[in-house]
Amino acid sequence: MLALLEEVLGSGAAAGNALVRFVSRVEPSLVDKAGEDNWLEYETRVNYAVSKYNDPVICTYDLTNFSASLVMDMLRVHPVVIVGGVLQENPFFVPPDQFLLELRERKSARRSAIQAH
C-alpha cells in the first residue's frame, strides 16, 4: 500500500495534475485483518511517504468502530487533524521514528509478558 500511495502521488505531476487528492476510508475489517500494531505501523509509515509531496492525503475513520485506545494511537500518528470540521495541527502528534520505537517496545513487552506466564 505504501508503494501504491507513492506511485499515485508521484504520478500526479507527471500526468500534468497540479495536485492529487488522496482520501482513505479506514474500515475496521482492514485493521482487524492487519492487527492493530501492524495497522498503526502502516499509518505511521504513511508519514514518510506523504512528506515527499505537497498533495493532500486524508485518512477518515468512523470513530465509533474502534476502541478508545486505538483511536488515541491513530490520532497520535497524524500531524494534522480535522476535529469538529476544523483543520488544525495535531497537538498529540508523535514523530514517526518515535512512534515506531514505542510500537516495538510494546510488542516486546507483550512477548515478555506472554513468555512469563
Residue by residue, what is the 3-state secondary structure of 49-111? Answer: HHCCCCCCEEEEECHHHCCHHHHHHHHHCCCEEEECCEEEECCCCCCHHHHHHHHHHHHHHHH
**pLDDT score of 104:** 94
Instruction: List, for the chain, all residue ranges whose pLDDT scores fall below the cut of 70.
Output: none
Q: Tell me the per-residue pLDDT of 12-40, one tens digit each, with 9 for 90 and over.
A: 878 888 899 999 999 999 999 999 999 99
**pLDDT score of 114:** 84
Kind of pairing, strands 86-89 and 80-83?
antiparallel
Domain enclosing residue 72, as ranges: 2-116
**pLDDT score of 83:** 84
**pLDDT score of 113:** 84
Quote the pTM value.
Answer: 0.86
Bridge partner list, 79 = none
**Structural domains of the chain, count:** 1
**pLDDT score of 117:** 74
Cβ burial of 5 (10 Å; 0-12, 13-18, 19+) is middle
